Amino acid sequence: MTIVSIGFGRDLNGRMVAVNDLVPEKHRGLKCNCTCPECGRKLRAHLGEKTTWYFQHYADNTNCNPQPMTLLHAFVRDQLALRKALEIPPIAIPREFLVGRRRVIQSITIPRQVHTSLKGAVEVRGDGVQPDVLYESAIWGRLALEVRYSHEVDEEKRQRLQNNYELAVEFDVSDLPPSGIGRDQLETVLTDPGRWTWLVNDRGIEFGVNKAQTLLDWGEKNWSVPASYKEIHPAAWAPKKLMEAQSRLVWAKAALQQLKLLRRERAASWLGAQSKTDRVAVACAAMGIEPMVLPSFMLLGGGEGSIPWTLDGHPYSWQPIVFMKFCIGQEEINAAEAGQWCVTALAGLCEDEDGRKSRNGLTRTAAMLQRYFLQLEVLGLVERTRGALPEERSFRPRFASPNELRSYIAQHQPPAKRRRTPFAPDFAFLARYDRTLRNSA
């Protein structure tokens, strides 16, 4: 008699159970309370110490022989249907783009999606299609999920999914061992981007295409700064983040002493590994100012001419660091060099910087910094040294030392006007402060 080894069974609730998820002390033999997913007969769990675990029919006279991949598919399907949250990793999709007069093939990346508060159901029939799992999400709408264990979804079925659901995705288990995997192993393979394929995601694909086209087009044009850069506007205050940076000031002062011992490249890498608020705390410690009374020229809004996909964060998260590094001292300020430093030191904010340069030689990060330095020039906080055109200018810091910076701030921001509470900034004072800065420029 041939012993049929089975990797999965059904528990008393009808849910698929992987034999690898059982506990020998509780589930050995008939104590597993499992039945065969194919014929419904009782299963015995063999959980030995020397052999691979498996289920076996309790009855000897059964002709049932479940197909392992069919059981694996059902197990993954049922486990996914039970989830209240599902994270789909970033997925790359090849697309054709027109760049100048050239057609190029480049992958676009659909960002990671996290779906929460899900209600999942198995094999709910739609109009001419029945996905393996159907999720209802209050935010994303209906998400259909297909578990691939043999053939990928064909174009006809993909079109039906598109006609029925806002989102549809395929998860590939075709290369997993037919003997089965457990819940822990499933959690691991779910994080593999190579197993996921978007079948329907119009918004995500449109986002990825527009982003890729923007990045590709950057190298086809001369970047020019709009005349409106001379209109200075503070960004919205970020009290919670700056309060968090304030709470890290003691740590930052100690870390700063160690940071001074590192070479420039290692110091930039160290800074890039810190959180946004910790970077701000370090910059403020170096300048001898407090995050909660950050001057508004380190919180300048973007406005017209802002450059997408670089320094992608509130101004508080990068302007204090850039000012600390380049706008105090004797060295000439060059946006191209500053941009290279920021890619390392502000890594999370420049993760989409691909190094592509405009025809006049600026990366997107360098152009964003040039715009900021030009605004500081308008305020009289840096001075032009070279370059007739705004896009070509280099600058020299107005402040030779942090002491000079603090003296300047003290003259234009009297102590009586300091914010009394971290969550109630004096916006009227900020407006007056900026007018004072423009008049002194």
Q: Give the C-alpha separation, 135 to 77, whole Å.
A: 12
1 found inside a domain: no
Bridging pattern class, strands 54-57 and 43-46? antiparallel
How many percent of the chain have pLDDT more than 70?
91
Query: Looking at the structure, do residues 232 and 183 belong to the same domain, yes or no?
Result: no
pLDDT of 138: 80
pLDDT of 141: 86
Range of the domain at 54: 8-66
Query: Looking at the structure, do residues 128 and 43 belong to the same domain, yes or no?
Result: no
The whole-model pTM stands at 0.74
Query: Looking at the structure, do residues 418 and 350 belong to the same domain, yes or no?
Result: yes
pLDDT of 67: 83
pLDDT of 234: 84
Query: Looking at the structure, do residues 234 and 104 belong to the same domain, yes or no?
Result: no
- Closest of 245, 239, 271 to residue 258, by C-alpha: 271
In 90-246, beta strands by DSSP E: 91-99, 102-110, 113-115, 119-122, 133-137, 141-148, 167-172, 196-200
pLDDT of 404: 96
Query: Looking at the structure, do residues 46 and 109 belong to the same domain, yes or no?
Result: no
Query: Looking at the structure, do residues 373 and 415 belong to the same domain, yes or no?
Result: yes
> Could you identify the residue written with the tokens 């001057």?
295
Query: Looking at the structure, do residues 202 and 270 belong to the same domain, yes or no?
Result: no
pLDDT of 220: 92
Of 182, 216, 250, which residue sits at a domain end? 216
User: Which residue ranges in the chain fall short of pLDDT 50?
Assistant: 1, 415-430, 433-434, 437-438, 440-441
Query: Looking at the structure, do residues 286 and 423 belong to the same domain, yes or no?
Result: yes
Query: Looking at the structure, do residues 234 and 254 belong to the same domain, yes or no?
Result: yes
pLDDT of 197: 95
Q: Give the C-alpha separation, 55 to 28, whole Å.
A: 10
Query: Looking at the structure, do residues 368 and 231 belong to the same domain, yes or no?
Result: yes
318 found inside a domain: yes
Query: Looking at the structure, do residues 206 and 342 belong to the same domain, yes or no?
Result: no
